[in-house]
Amino acid sequence: MWCETFQRLHERDGKRNDAGLVANGHRRSVFSSGNEQLDQIRDLWGERREDDALTELEKFKTAQTWPFLNAEVRAKALRIEAGLRLQKGDAAIARKLFR
């Protein structure tokens, strides 16, 4: 993907270049966007709209940006999903998320 290409250009010979700056800026914006989306999903959950929250979370996890999110954001998404699944009585699915 294009972000990986930028990252390779950034890391080549250990030198920082404009392509690396673009890649890092993109990574930060994906991180911010990911956290904002998770906040919206949590809001749905807080409004007792668990099914809507799970639907949005599934979209979030299958989006093309998922692989570019850092581990912290992905872990947060999985914790939210596990909590929602437990609340809905899906303990088996929640358990799989923690493996």
Q: What is the pLDDT of residue 16?
A: 42
Instruction: Compute the Cα dihedral for 35, 37, 39, 41 and give only its sign.
Output: negative
pLDDT digits (tens, 9 = 90+) for 5-23: 434 444 444 444 434 434 4
Mention every residue, 6+ apart, whose C-beta is less than 8 A from residue 86: 94
Q: Where are the domains of the chain?
A: 2-97
One-letter amino acid of 21? L
pLDDT digits (tens, 9 = 90+) for 20-68: 434 444 555 555 678 999 999 999 999 999 999 999 999 999 999 999 9
Total H helices, total E strands in the chain: 5, 0
Whether 12 contacts 51, CB under 8 Å: no
Question: 69 falls in which pLDDT band (50, 70, 90)?
Answer: very high
Q: What is the pLDDT of residue 95?
A: 86
Q: Higher confidence at residue 71 or residue 99?
A: 71
- Cα–Cα distance measured from residue 81 to residue 19, given in angstroms and rounded to the nearest whole number: 35
